[in-house]
Amino acid sequence: MKPELDRSYPDAMDTWPVAKLRRDQLHKLRRVLKHAHRGLSFYRERYDKAKIEADAVRNFEDFARLPTFTKRDVLDAIREKKSFRTGMESGAGTDMGVLCMTSGTLGTSFLYLPRRWAEIRGNSLARAYWWAGLRPGMRMLMAAPAWHSLAVQETRVIHRLGVTCVVPWGTFLPRHAGSFLAAITEVKPDFVSIFLPMLYALLAECRRRNLRPADAFQSVQNVLVVGAPMTPLSRAKLREDLGVKDLFEGLGNPEGLTAMECSHHRGHHIFIDCCYVEIIDPGSGAPLAAGKRGNVIVTSLIPHGSVYIRYDTEDLGEILPGLCPCGKTWPLLEVYDRRANAVEVARKEIFPYDVRLCLDKVPELIHIPFALLRGRRAAEVLKLKVQQPMGGGALEILENQLKAQIKETLGLEARIEWTEELPERWKGVAVIDEDNGGRARV
């Protein structure tokens, strides 16, 4: 199969006037809604119960009145039906396709992804990789975790853009950092797509081998990072350490969301060709305007395979007001953290990202993994476990610097516990529940 080198990419859709984009989105929303109401029992039962006619949804306001659901609802449906088939998917078992999975402490849900889905979502994602500098003829480092829908999408991106790829042995866990680093230094990709905690693990591996990260990444022009947010300081430091042109952050979930930074790094442009995003007040469910933080609600506009309509991701985020200076008209989204990662300290709601900002201000602690500790009851003191930076040295000094940063930035007292290693998780470890035997949340 020849790479599709002839396709010029991307098209002009990302600069369409806003009114035209809205019309296109509404059309796709109504199409997917009809598909769901006619063919997917998960939605039909819910909508019938709520006496909602899919055909009666004529505008975004009507759409915003449809019920939302969470991962818990999907898992309940799986357990009730004792099957991956929850009634959210069409054609499972008849069309060519694969089943991918989600991870998480709540449990595993399955997504049926037929070939048509992979084409549409993958072609859309190809634009994101193009923005990040991936070009025909380049070689990309791709980790192939076949259980994750990103692998299915990247497979399509690579074919679509006519690039070749190198796949290191293993999976996105720090213990495989050695093989990832070898693949980068030996097969010399031009472009790296990676989960952020794994990128940090690669830096640690470089330190272990006494190798300058910029030497290891000599062939690499750009890096696309997913899985956890980079702070502005950590991005700048990563770019400097790796010696790459730029690092781009992608946001996404298998259920439908794709959002991607442009070179202005002012937030993540929502890929409105494939998904529709709303922000709602978690209490009342009311839609929130741009600039207000709330729960991120995602609707996939692809009427194939597993379809998610008004799925409450339980992420805390906001649509940023105004247009991006890059000229693209796709709205900008920022996601701050998982709601479930909130820890209450001294009557304040603290998220791991807030604490990361403090660690970043202590140069030795940039890129160092850490986790918040959460007890059953709200605490007065912020407790965290921080991985000891390599080279050991004056932990006491670092501890005092970090405590001072936390006090200054968050107005909180902190108790810091140094640890040699944190539990290994794909997306890193954000919060450890103390009453859960110290088990980490994913």
Partner 1 sequence: MRKLRRLIRQASAAPLYQRKFDVLRDDASSSLKAFVRETPTTTLEELIAEKLVTGDPYSSRWATDHAPLVVFQLEYGTETSLYVGLGPDELKGYAEALRRCWSLVGLGSGDRVGIFDYGTSPVSYLASSAFTPYLRRGAADALGCLVTCNDGEANMSQRAVEIIKYVRPRILFLRSDCLHPFALEVEKDSLSLSDYIDALVTAENEAVLSTAERVAYEKRLAVPIYRMLRVDAAMFLAVECPRCRLLHSWQDLFLVEAPAGGSEEGGKRNPAPLVITNWFAKSCPAIRYVSQVKATLEPAGCPRGPKDLRIAT
Which strand (E) or helix (H) includes residue 382?
strand 382-387
Give the separation between CA 361 and CA 379, rounded to whole angstroms: 24
Instruction: Give the binding range for partner 1 (CB under 8 A) out of 6-14, 29-37, 150-158, 200-208.
Output: 150-158
Task: Give the nearest distance from C-beta 125 to Zn ion in angstroms.
Answer: 17
Residue closer to Zn ion (CB basis): 268 or 385? 268
Q: How many residues bind partner 1 (CB under 8 A)?
A: 50
Using the rule CB under 5 A, which residue among 152, 238, 272, 324 binds Zn ion?
Answer: 324
Give the separation between CA 333 and CA 58, rounded to whole angstroms: 25
Q: How many residues does the chain have?
A: 442
Candidates 154, 167, 161, 153; CA nearest to 137 is 161
- Residue 293, both tokens: 């933080």
DSSP string, 32-93: HHHHHHHH-HHHHHHHHHTT--GGG--SHHHHTTSPPB-HHHHHHHHHHHTSS--S-BSSTT
Give which of partner 1, Zn ion, none residue 262 binds (C-beta under 5 to 8 Å, depending on kind). Zn ion
- Binding-residue pattern over the window 102 to 121 for partner 1, x denoting contact by CB under 8 A: -x---xx-x-xx-x--x---
Give which of Zn ion, partner 1, none residue 41 binds (C-beta under 5 to 8 Å, depending on kind). none
Task: Give the nearest distance from C-beta 103 to partner 1 in angstroms.
Answer: 8
Task: Give the nearest distance from C-beta 438 to partner 1 in angstroms.
Answer: 16
Task: Give the nearest distance from C-beta 293 to partner 1 in angstroms.
Answer: 32
**Subset of 12-31 contacting partner 1 (CB under 8 A):** none
Instruction: Supply angle C-alpha 100, 174, 158, rounded to 5.
Output: 45
Residue closer to Zn ion (CB basis): 22 or 328? 328
Candidates 386, 305, 269, 366; CA nearest to 13 is 269
Give which of Zn ion, partner 1, none residue 55 binds (C-beta under 5 to 8 Å, depending on kind). none
Could you give the C-alpha distances from 81 to 3, 69, 78, 167, 305, in angstroms and in order?
Answer: 42, 17, 5, 37, 18
- Does residue 342 belong to the site contacting Zn ion (CB under 5 A)? no
**Subset of 252-311 contacting Zn ion (CB under 5 A):** 262, 264
Residue closer to Zn ion (CB basis): 72 or 264? 264
**Subset of 76-105 contacting partner 1 (CB under 8 A):** 78, 82-84, 92-93, 96-101, 103
Candidates 372, 320, 369, 380; CA nearest to 343 is 372
Could you give the C-alpha distances from 276 to 29, 96, 99, in angstroms and in order?
Answer: 8, 26, 23
Q: Give the residues lining the site for partner 1 (CB under 8 A).
A: 1, 3, 78, 82-84, 92-93, 96-101, 103, 107-108, 110, 112-113, 115, 118, 139, 142-147, 151-152, 154-156, 158-159, 164-171, 173, 179, 182-183, 186-187
